């Protein structure tokens, strides 16, 4: 597969500038700035140099943009490991006195984890 070094998604420079102007998330604005510079004709290496990032970073976001447009610049929520802590159990334990669990002093994180 040939690596693309230009913006192929059908969007004008003016539209990109407007998107960057309206975007609140600084990470997305930064990614849009990469796309804008590529759209203006700068190479990936030059864009990376100007923005102080890696050319592989620019290429990654350019590829994402070209395959999915502006929405592709947003990161997807990653499915992480399930929490080790059951927050409902912690809430229940905190509603009780530490003395009910055999402790003579107030709660500490170590004592809470021992009771859940």
3-state secondary structure of 108: coil
CA distances from 44 to 8, 60, 65 (A): 14, 10, 14
E strand or H helix at 37: helix 26-39
Specify whether the CB–CB gap between 43 and 5 falls below 8 A: yes
- Percent of all residues in the chain with a pLDDT value above 90, rounded to a whole number: 59
Give pLDDT tens digits for 1-32. 456 689 999 999 999 999 999 999 999 999 99
Task: Give the pLDDT confidence score for residue 66 in this predicted structure.
Answer: 94
Q: Domain locations in the chain?
A: 13-73, 85-116
Q: What is the pLDDT of residue 1?
A: 41
Return the sign of the alpha-carbon dihedral for residues 79, 85, 86, 90. Answer: negative
Question: What digits encode the pLDDT tens for the residues 32-70?
Answer: 999 999 999 999 999 999 999 999 999 999 999 999 999
User: Residue 95: what pLDDT?
Assistant: 79
């Amino acid at each position: 597969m040939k690596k693309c070094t230009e913006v192929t998604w059908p969007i004008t420079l003016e539209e990109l500038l407007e998107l960057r102007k309206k975007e609140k998330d600084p990470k997305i604005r930064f990614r849009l700035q990469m796309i804008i510079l590529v759209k203006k004709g700068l190479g990936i290496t030059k864009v990376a140099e100007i923005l102080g990032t890696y050319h592989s970073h620019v290429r990654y976001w350019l590829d994402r943009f070209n395959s999915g447009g502006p929405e592709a610049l947003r990161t997807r929520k990653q499915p992480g490991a399930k929490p080790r802590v059951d927050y409902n159990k912690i809430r229940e334990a905190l509603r009780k006195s530490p003395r009910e669990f055999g402790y003579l002093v107030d709660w500490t994180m170590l004592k809470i984890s021992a009771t859940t």
